[in-house]
Amino acid sequence: MDATKVIIDTVDRIRQRRTAPLVLELDLTEGLIDRPPADPLSAVLSMRRARLSDVLSGLKRARRDERVKGLVVKIGTHPLGLAMVQELRQAVRRFREAGKQAVVFAETFGEFGAGTVPYYLACAFDRVYLQPSGDVGLTGVALEQRFVRGALDKLGVEYQLGQRHEYKTAANMFTQESMTEPHRESVARIAESVTEQIVAGVAEARRLDPAKVRELVDAGPFTAPEAVEAGLVDGLAYRDEVYDEVRRAAGEDALLLYVTRYHKGALARKLPHPGEQVVALVQGSGPIKLGRSGRSPMGGGAMGSDTICAALRAARRDDAVKAVVFRVDSPGGSYVASDAIWREVGLTREAGKPVIVSMGDVAASGGYFVSMAADVIMAQPGTLTGSIGVFGGKPVIGELLGKLGVTSETVREGANAAMFSPTHGFSEAQWARVDAWLDRIYDDFVGKVAQGRGLTRERAHELARGRVWTGADARAGGLVDELGGLEDALALARKRAGLAADAPVRPYPRLNPLERLRPPDSSEDRTAALARVRLEAWGPLAALAGELGLPAYGPLMLPGSWRIR
């Protein structure tokens, strides 16, 4: 009898899990990742972190699922990029438009610190709850640049760098003691554009006048009671109180389920279809380098040209693939590697398969280079892109070495054999070669921008000159075609390919376990797209970052912290 009762109870629980109302949950305490694991180590390290694409797909399916009654999200202190936040805001808005409630809870939006971007995310929900001891750090946008020229002078280090052109300010931290006028103009416009987006978003969501929101930004941060009085949050509550309210609204028998588990459960129940027509998703993230993608011990990974090119080839040659979405989240890097990826994007288009680029938080310099040949470039308003320019040179540390008592001698054959040695400066003839190299890269970059974007070369140069743009401003200038996120890019790819609105998406390369274990037969084999399981140094930390600070991944690089958080 006991055994029968156990069986009956088990069956009832299984039935309940299949039929009970659902409240989806998303915990952003650890943030989100915007790329698939590149290797087994990355897979282990990111095991407990949700992927943006899974969250977006889960919320899209939930909009049509009658079992799903609501969504509850906890926002933590882990920084989220502005473009990623805009993707989440868009997904939440569509979820709410389907008639489902969405509630957000935070212990604090900045504990005696800035919390503008996380609050911007929160205000997209039906109701915003804050722990009574929390704060709302709605304080605006600040972009800070440090300059080390004075310290380098004291050390006896000189940087000999050339740039194309005045807005390509990546090297200014080494060569200047403060912002140049073009540098200040560019950064000021980015801060202004981002502030416009955040103020408009908060005003619309909280039903406040934009001028009032701007006053609140200047008056922040706010204590919890002040935030309620200002209309920034709907109530003060602890986690248990918020979750109890959400459950009561959904039904006492409602089950709580993570959005990512909900999404993966749906995938597991859907059997693969042989010959099914699909959209390929190729994801490129991190600094761009020659060779295969790898992992950095400093965190994150690099976009290897061999890996991305092989993935694009695999998608291009697969008859089941009818369109490609190329997700780019990169500050740039190697010019040669970027050019190799650019070529494969063009070949994929020539094969009759539409290519849609979806930009993440940053797709600048080399990140723009790999994107510009696509049929359509899509970015969020807060994406940082452009930076169409180049710089290069070297640090000269001979004086520093002398102060340390280090001497060096060079034996060479060839007038320029030691040209890139950091112990001495460039000669006049060598500077002429550096200038020719910079001019060649810049001319090629701008020419391909003009070709890919349908601009005159003069207009492309005007938009280039190394300047970084927000996605909103890049759209106005013609460097970006449409504003939107990954979900929009996938929908557009399906439409361009004539596929059904729910046609499946497949990451490429798509390999079975045996293929992952065996070595590739050739560079044409799709297993050649696998990332190499190795640790990559951040630049040549292998060579002390180019022996003191040059971007290790190449001349099309946007160094420093450029993500708006």
Cis omega (within 30 of 0) for bond into 331: no
Residue 258 CB: number of other CB atoms within 10 A? Answer: 16
- Tell me what pLDDT residue 415 has: 85
Say yes or no to pLDDT of 22 above 90.
yes
Residue 535's pLDDT is what?
A: 41
358's enclosing H/E stretch is: strand 355-364
Q: What is the pLDDT of residue 549?
A: 42
Distance between CA atoms of 25 and 30, rounded to whole angstroms?
A: 14
Looking at residue 376, its pLDDT comes to 98
pLDDT mean over 497-510 = 89
How far apart CA 295 and CA 533 sit, in angstroms, is 8
| The pLDDT of residue 16 is above 60 | no
Residues linked to residue 535 through DSSP beta bridges, in sequence order: 295
Q: What is the pLDDT of residues 25-37, one digit of tens each?
A: 999 998 888 866 5
Average pLDDT over residues 314-335: 95
pLDDT of res. 555: 62
What is the mean predicted confidence (pLDDT) over 373-394? 95
Confidence (pLDDT) at 8: 52
Average pLDDT of span 538-544: 38
- How many whole angstroms separate alpha carbon 420 and alpha carbon 435? 14
Kindly report which listed range (93-102, 152-161, 203-212, 378-387) carries the lowest average pLDDT score: 152-161
Question: Tell me, what's the pLDDT at 538?
Answer: 34
What is the share, in percent, of the chain residues with pLDDT greater than 90?
Answer: 64
More confident residue, 418 or 218: 218
Across the chain, what does the average pLDDT equal? 86
CA dihedral sign of residues 120, 121, 127, 133 = negative
Strand-pairing partners, residue 136, are 109, 222
Instruction: Specify the pLDDT at position 2.
Output: 65
Pairwise CA distance, residues 408 & 422, whole Å: 11
Write down the pLDDT at residue 194. Answer: 96
